[in-house]
Structure 1
Amino acid sequence: MTTIARLRRPRPPRHWVVPALSFAGMIVVTLLILLPVIIIVFTAFKPVAEVNAYPPSLVPGTWTFDNFTRIFSELPFARLIGNSFVFAGGVTLCALVFDSLVAYVLARIDFRGSRVLLIVIVASLMIPFQATLIPIYQLVAQFGWVNTFAGLIIPRAADAFGIFFLRQFFVSLPRDLDNAARIDGASEFRIFRSIVLPNAVPALLTLGIFTFVNNWNDLLWPLVFTTQSEMGTITSGLTLLTGPSGIVPYGVMMAGSLVAVVPLAIMFLVVQRRFIESVASTGLK
């Protein structure tokens, strides 16, 4: 009877406590991470009176679209979005081409001075971006590229981080593929285009996403190299909304920031499946 009673005694609910606590903790951390985005969304739909009210409220009492209409009426916002796509997309395309070429040479071709060149490229990452901004601006001004897409894109056509990142990925690829292609008479460019690049799609997509997002969100670079509002980007254009005495229309700013985030979210959703498929198929081609 004692044995039967022990078998019938209910077990303490330990098997679901740990998963439940883990799930609750995950929800709390997720909400904390998304809190700035939630504030941006709610503030974008608030009228001016609620935005400036104290104490502030999270959820708007009255929902309005006036902030979104203002960003298109007070700014050439469609032009700014197009400029952002040209700037970020052009820099991303150029960076992927030039960074991959340099990375291939440093990773797959043995030549004298390659290690020194790699050290110099890595060491350049330690130089602050602000330290080179004025010399670059002087060069761009001498070429007459201020307020042009060439002045925005060409100085960023290659990046030391991208070269080092792709170089490390190219080193991890087996060299047997290169040697077999060279025995068949393939040139270095053919090996780069037909063997290395197809197996480096995950790294290229990762670098492309990082480069596009960084340039899309960059404020200082387009703010320095463009003096005309028609050549600005979304981030630099939003600074034009600041009124006299430094008054900032936060509702309009949040609406513009929300619109600026939408293309990035769409791009991530589109690239995500391709990124996972490329990771799964790496080395099988």
Structure 2
Amino acid sequence: MSTLTLGQDPHGTPSAPGDDSSTGSAPAPGGAVRNRGRDRGPRRPRWATGLLIGGVLATIAVFLVPLYWLFSSALKPHQQIYTWPLRWIPEALTLENFTQAWNSAPFDRFFLNSIITTSVGTALELTLAILCAYAFVFVEFRFKKVAFVLIVGSLMLPGHVTLIVNYITVANLGWLNSYAGIILPGIASAFAMFLLFQYMRTIDKDILQAAEIDGAGHLRRMVTIVVPLSSPMILTATLIVMIGKWNEYVWPLIVTSTADMRTLPIGLLFLRSQEGYSNWGVIMAGAVFVSLPMLILFFLAQKRIIGGLAAGAMK
């Protein structure tokens, strides 16, 4: 009597490596192999999938169509902007609108003012936010919870509530129409502090206690341990604060009175007053001057912004 060895059929023929007869998988009717993996959940109905895709496309259109119209109108000749029906694809491209906008308003000075106020204001605001968040997480002092609740509670107040008080304070200090008057009232940010506070809470305090035993003070622990570990959220907060300061309009409009101290958003209003409501190609070119730097920054750093916020939420 002959014995069957593993991997052979009754006739002695070796089984193929992928043969289902050797793995014990029962073939389904019709020769198909039954899937023993994890069963998938119920499929979404086709009408629900269609609604989802339509909603996504509509959302994309709401955001992208105005941007496309802005940039295309800035590159169109004057007569093509007012044609009907609308011409979505320009027949000819021109840079005349940008040249005229640059010559009609001192955009070189507007750019300089925006760069100074945005960079210095962001650096000061993030420095204060890091110091404040570190104190609330790693330093014990009296009334810490009360102070934290008051600072976070300030997020519920609209920014326009403090305009009059800030203006009177800046006027009494003699900072009207100056960089100090534009920058200093906005360097205390409860939003950036709260983001960093939530992230610093996830840092293991044993690391800081070991550094304290080695003789490191609060400043050294913050600079050498906490700040490097919190760098993803610091970068996210920096980008959010920078975009907000670049686009700030109301406060610089109130605290400045001459064109040489205006920032870019106010410079766009100045350009509109120069050109009126008829030369929209030039006004669109000025809007491109204002929005393009932050659009480039956002598209280059959007993964870091979303990643930092998601990391803070998950932790």
Structure 1 residue 67, shift from structure 2 partner:
1.1
Task: Pick the aligned partner of 2:128 from 90, 93, 98.
Answer: 98
Structure 1 unmatched runs, 5+? 8-13
Distance 1:246 1:182, change over 3 A: same
In the alignment, residue 90 of structure 1 is paired with which amino acid? V
SS at 1:172 equivalent? coil
| C-alpha distance in 1 between matches for 2:235 and 2:124 | 14
The answer to whether the Cα contact below 8 Å between 1:241 and 1:248 also exists between their aligned partners in 2 is no
Alignment of 1:1-285 (within 5 A): 29-243=59-273, 247=277, 249-268=279-298, 271=301
Distance 1:178 1:248, change over 3 A: farther
Structure 2 unmatched runs, 5+? 1-28, 33-42
Distance 1:275 1:69, change over 3 A: same
Distance 1:25 1:164, change over 3 A: closer
TM-score norm. by structure 1 comes to 0.83
Distance 1:124 1:248, change over 3 A: farther
Distance 1:108 1:226, change over 3 A: same
| C-alpha distance in 2 between matches for 1:223 and 1:264 | 20
| C-alpha distance in 1 between matches for 2:76 and 2:275 | 23
Structure 1 residue 230, shift from structure 2 partner:
1.0
Distance 1:270 1:51, change over 3 A: closer
Question: What per-residue deviation string (whole Å, max 9, x for no partner) do you get for residues 159-216 of structure 1?
Answer: 1111111111111211111111111111011111110000111111111101110111
In the alignment, residue 40 of structure 1 is paired with which amino acid? L
TM-score norm. by structure 2 comes to 0.76
| C-alpha distance in 1 between matches for 2:299 and 2:71 | 19
| C-alpha distance in 2 between matches for 1:26 and 1:277 | 21
| C-alpha distance in 2 between matches for 1:266 and 1:245 | 27
In the alignment, residue 160 of structure 2 is paired with which amino acid? Q
| C-alpha distance in 2 between matches for 1:106 and 1:239 | 42
Question: What per-residue deviation string (whole Å, max 9, x for no partner) do you get for residues 32-53 of structure 1?
Answer: 4311211111111122333234
Note the aligned Cα RMSD (angstroms): 3.1
Q: How many residues align?
A: 270
Structure 1 residue 27, shift from structure 2 partner:
6.0
Larger gyration radius, structure 1 or structure 2: 2
Structure 1 residue 255, shift from structure 2 partner:
1.1
| Higher RCO structure, 1 or 2 (CA under 8 Å, sep 6+) | 1
**Residue 10 (structure 1) aligns with:** none
| C-alpha distance in 2 between matches for 1:222 and 1:39 | 28
| C-alpha distance in 2 between matches for 1:270 and 1:35 | 20
